[in-house]
Amino acid sequence: MKSAVLVFPGINRERDMARALKLVSGQEAAMVWHAETELPKGTDLVVVPGGFSYGDYLRCGAIAARAPVMDAVRKYAAGGGLVLGVCNGFQILCEAGLLPGVLMRNARLKFICKDVHLRVERSDSPFTRGYNAGQVIRVPVAHGEGNYEADEETVKRLEGEGRVLYRYCTPEGVVDEESNINGAAQSIAGIVNERGNVLGMMPHPENHVEDIMGCTDGRGLFAGLAAHLEKAA
Ligand SMILES: NC(=O)CC[C@H](N)C(=O)O
């Protein structure tokens, strides 16, 4: 699995991400600076990591979404290439128009940094095939603007087309108001685009991949991608 991890000024999760990718795939990820206009040849997966690109000015991800490298990512995604955006990466993908909707301030207007539970809604996507449908995983979140919103029609479409892949839930897998940590529409934690090759999610699977982290529930996402790409090759 040849991954490319994008790096913007203010991003701080790129090394965690590269480490997780190496751990699961055995291959070193390429780090790609935001000013680049092309992705490395043969890239199997583009990852937009988390952090605070441009100090979260204007709106999280709004400035990074206009970086030169994003034109290359748009082209790559249009060709069916896999793109994963985590946290600030999710925000950047929405701001870049690669995913619908927007991430607004958390409902209680506080930065949230803790472990949460997610229900994996389906297992037939490259981004979830490392899990079973309905499985509950524990992963951390760390964000101030994770409250996913879109117009009613868009949310209805996301649901109708099965494009919500991860949803906040209780440890038992129940989706309720309390487990919806940031007030997101339909407790949405992660969605894919229409074609299913671009995923954005607020939680950080890359931070739960080794025993030393206290949990390895995030590993399935990367293992699933690696398995998907292996089969496709
Ligand atoms: N960990 C992150 O990527 C944080 C994203 C963004 N800076 C926010 O606070 O919402």
The whole-number pLDDT of residue 59 equals: 95
Cβ atoms of 85 and 93 within 8 Å: the answer is yes
Q: State the distance from the centre of ligand 1 to the C-alpha of 56, rounded, in angstroms.
A: 8
Check pocket membership of 49 for ligand 1, CB cut-off 6 A.
no
CA distance 185 to 121: 15
The whole-number pLDDT of residue 193 equals: 98
Check pocket membership of 88 for ligand 1, CB cut-off 6 A.
yes
Select from 16, 91, 149 the residue to mutate for testing ligand 1; criterion: most ligand atoms less than 8 Å from CB: 91
Check pocket membership of 167 for ligand 1, CB cut-off 6 A.
no
Say what the pTM is. 0.98
- Residue 233, pLDDT > 90, answer no
Check pocket membership of 129 for ligand 1, CB cut-off 6 A.
no
Check pocket membership of 52 for ligand 1, CB cut-off 6 A.
yes
Residue 38's pLDDT band, with cuts at 50, 70 and 90, is very high
CATH architecture observed for domain 3-232 = 3-Layer(aba) Sandwich (3.40)
To the query of whether residue 117 is one of the catalytic residues in this protein, the response is no
To the query of whether residue 228 is one of the catalytic residues in this protein, the response is no
- C-alpha closest to that of 135 among 179, 165, 113: 165
pLDDT > 90 in the chain, percent: 99
The whole-number pLDDT of residue 231 equals: 85
The whole-number pLDDT of residue 77 equals: 98
Q: What is the ipTM of this complex?
A: 0.96
Name residues whose C-beta falls within 8 Å of residue 12's C-beta, 6 or more positions apart in sequence. Answer: 50, 51, 52
Can you give the residue ranges of every domain in the chain?
3-232
Exposure string for 92-118, b = 16+ CB within 10 A, e = fewer = bbbbbebbbbbbbbbeeeeebeeebbb
Over its C-alpha atoms, the chain yields an Rg (Å, rounded) of: 16
Q: State the distance from the centre of ligand 1 to the C-alpha of 11, rounded, in angstroms.
A: 9
- Residue 29, pLDDT > 90, answer yes
Q: Which residue in the block uniquely carries the two structure tokens 């099965």? A: 162
**Angle, CA of 65, 181 and 66, to the nearest 5°:** 5
- For the segment 72-99, the average pLDDT, to the nearest whole number, is 98
Q: Which residue in the block uniquely carries the two structure tokens 């490319």? A: 4
Q: State the distance from the centre of ligand 1 to the C-alpha of 180, rounded, in angstroms.
A: 17
pLDDT tens-digit series, residues 209-232: 999 999 999 999 999 999 999 988
Looking at ligand 1, which atom is closest to the CA of residue 49?
3
To the query of whether residue 87 is one of the catalytic residues in this protein, the response is yes
Mean model confidence pLDDT for the chain = 97
**Kind of pairing between the strands at 147-149 and 198-201:** unpaired
Q: State the distance from the centre of ligand 1 to the C-alpha of 207, rounded, in angstroms.
A: 14
Q: State the distance from the centre of ligand 1 to the C-alpha of 14, rounded, in angstroms.
A: 13
- C-alpha closest to that of 190 among 135, 98, 119, 129: 119
Specify the residue with its C-alpha closest to ligand 1, atom 7: 52
